[in-house]
Structure 1
């Protein structure tokens, strides 16, 4: 746990008592603050009470007396689509609104670091897609070389739940736009921007607001080094804003679409081969095609970003390559869960939007595609150009028939349930086929989360 600094004997309100909210309350208490906690959900309040916190209704004006700050959980919108009522009350009372990521950065460094030989480092990873895999892959590489490392943020533990740093340790934080948008303290040593595609637009008031939330990680804290995916205009813009010139190697550009060989520091993939160039000369390469845990171009982009950070931390290319080969991937993200009679079963339940589903469809051949669920804004039109590897689609979801209408040009079977879709796709699959769960939709019509959906797929495959 990272004790929160700067609020000794002061009341600090915590709104939202999920994983990060409870971790924040614990860290505040550990640092000598007086947490004032609240959640509109009665079950969440009961869980807080079991840990010794007494919920106080922040809807009452009297609850704000003497409160020094409001710490908002990331899942709670604060400004768009409409201001949160509790946040609005804090604004009116002149009380600063912050979040747990900000508290982490404010309290991570301690006087004990004066005795360290190698200063701890914080690496942050943000972007629309790939940030979880990039973060986990980097953490895996560090573990492979026995370098102390912790993985937290939007993956694994909450940021304030990590242990105090030891000599030479690296903390890898996956950060969503919800977490970067509000934080007052953002001071990573190395920051990664994977890519940008439309998502969470209601929460951020549009695409510009969404990008601005992610850009804060680079503009507010000024990391020592930035790893930037430049396959979208926003990434190109960000890299240009951060670099002082063509040869500024504080910015490492990453691409899966272009060969980057300028005078700076570049990492890119072409035809499955990762290449590193510095000052116009190649300094490293990895053949990614045989690495089962990193299938497809989207995972090759993740590999480029993790490679760039690992090189920034002083690791050699051959060491990084060896670590890549032992990476098994993350659950629900292009995860191979079984092979039966030459048929590969892949769980990519995390592919909840069109862009991530497109990446999955491009990563495999001879696909028996299980898709469907709660369709997101924008429809499925952008997927049409990625149907080339699909032999047949098996549609699930409560509104499977309507979803299927967006799959024009494909052979489609309406299955509705996961069990039927797995059974039908497996029965029709031939050696060399891939049965791929990549829903291109949210899960909430049938499941509590994409994880539950992926688990159901895995269970159905196991039942074969």
Structure 2
């Protein structure tokens, strides 16, 4: 655990008592602060009280008297679409609002580092798609080369719940826009931006606010090195803002759309081959096509990002290449759950928006596609660009019929996962892929995308020969 610094003897309010909220309360207590907790859910309050914390209704008049700051869990809105009443009360009382990411960065370093030969490093990964895979891939590579590494943030452990760092160790953080938009302190050594596509637009009042939340990791943090995907205009703009000129290798540009040129530092993938160029010369190359855990161009972008981060730490290209081959992939992200009768079954339940689903569809040929759920803003038109890869779509969800009408391909309304899997498996032929890539949120039928992916996996395996 990382004890929170700077609040010893003070009252700090904690709003939201899920995983990150409870970890924050414990870290505040370890740092000598008194955590004053609140959650609208009585069960969450009971859990906190059982662990020795004081719960106080922060919605009541005078609740923020003698409170030093308010720490807000990521899922609680503080501005758009409507700020939580507790956040409004804090701001009205002049109380600063922060989150666990801000507390982590202000508390991570301590005096024990004076005895380290190599200072610990923090790599922070953000973007719309590929954050989890990129962060997990960096952590995997470091682990494979016996470099102490911890994976935290939006994946793995809560940021304040990790172990104190060792000499030369690395903390790899996956950070969502919900986390970057509010943190008052962000000082990663390496900041990484994968890509940008529409998501969480109600929370950020549109694409501009969404990009601004991501950009804060770079603008507020001033990382020693910025790794930026430049396949969208926002990434190009961000890379330009971070760079002092064409030869500034503090910025590494990455792409899967084109070959990058110039005297700077670039990593890109074309036709399945990763290339690294520095000062106009090629310094590394990896054939990604045979790496089973990283199928498709979207995963090749993740490989470029992870490669660039590990090269920034001084790892050699061949060392990174060997580690890429042993990467098993993450659950619910292009995860091969079965292969039988010449058919491959892939769980990409994490493809919760149109862009990530389109990338999944482009990664495979001859697809029996299971899709649908709680549709997000923007429509489904972009999915039709990959229709040549789809033999048929099997649509699930409460609004399956309306979802299917937007697809320019053969569809079958199945509604339930069980029916979709049964129909797709019955019609799948040798050489085809049965792919779950919903292009929608899961909340109309499931608690989360993990539960949806597990349901798909169970339905597939239950129907395979013993």
* The two structures share one fold, judged by TM-score above 0.5: yes
Mapping of residues 193-232 of structure 1, within 5 Å = 193-232=193-232
Deviation at 1:261, TM superposition (A): 2.2
Mapping of residues 6-405 of structure 1, within 5 Å = 6-405=6-405
Deviation readout 1:272-292 (Å, 9 max, x if unpaired): 000000000000000000101
Counterpart CA distance in 1 for 2:220 and 2:398 is 44
Which residue in the other structure is 2:431 paired with? 432
Deviation at 1:206, TM superposition (A): 1.3
RMSD of equivalent CA atoms: 0.7
Counterpart CA distance in 1 for 2:131 and 2:269 is 18
Counterpart CA distance in 1 for 2:419 and 2:88 is 48
Counterpart CA distance in 2 for 1:444 and 1:8 is 40
Counterpart CA distance in 1 for 2:200 and 2:425 is 35
Aligned to 1:328, what secondary structure does the other structure show? coil
Counterpart CA distance in 2 for 1:334 and 1:202 is 27
Deviation at 1:62, TM superposition (A): 2.8
Deviation at 1:70, TM superposition (A): 0.4
Which residue in the other structure is 1:458 paired with? 457
Counterpart CA distance in 1 for 2:39 and 2:456 is 33
Aligned to 1:61, what secondary structure does the other structure show? coil
Which residue in the other structure is 1:416 paired with? 415
- Of 134-143 and 60-69, deviating more is 60-69
Deviation at 1:63, TM superposition (A): 2.2
Counterpart CA distance in 1 for 2:214 and 2:248 is 22
- The unaligned stretches of length 5 or more in structure 2 are none
Counterpart CA distance in 1 for 2:64 and 2:90 is 8
Deviation readout 1:123-173 (Å, 9 max, x if unpaired): 000000000000000000000000000000001111001110010000000
Counterpart CA distance in 1 for 2:127 and 2:48 is 32
Aligned to 2:62, what secondary structure does the other structure show? helix
Deviation readout 1:57-86 (Å, 9 max, x if unpaired): 001123212110001111100011122211
Deviation at 1:54, TM superposition (A): 2.2
8 Å CA contact 1:200–1:210 kept in 2: the answer is yes
Aligned to 2:357, what secondary structure does the other structure show? helix
Aligned to 1:415, what secondary structure does the other structure show? strand
8 Å CA contact 1:261–1:281 kept in 2: the answer is no
Deviation readout 1:186-241 (Å, 9 max, x if unpaired): 00000000001111111111111111111110011100000000000000000000
Deviation at 1:337, TM superposition (A): 0.7
Counterpart CA distance in 2 for 1:259 and 1:400 is 40
Counterpart CA distance in 2 for 1:337 and 1:323 is 22
Deviation readout 1:283-336 (Å, 9 max, x if unpaired): 000000010100000000000000000000010111101100110111101100
Counterpart CA distance in 2 for 1:67 and 1:397 is 45
Counterpart CA distance in 1 for 2:133 and 2:347 is 14
Counterpart CA distance in 1 for 2:221 and 2:186 is 5
Deviation at 1:442, TM superposition (A): 0.9
- Of 161-170 and 397-406, deviating more is 397-406
Aligned to 2:368, what secondary structure does the other structure show? strand
Deviation at 1:46, TM superposition (A): 1.4
Counterpart CA distance in 2 for 1:290 and 1:456 is 29
- The unaligned stretches of length 5 or more in structure 1 are none
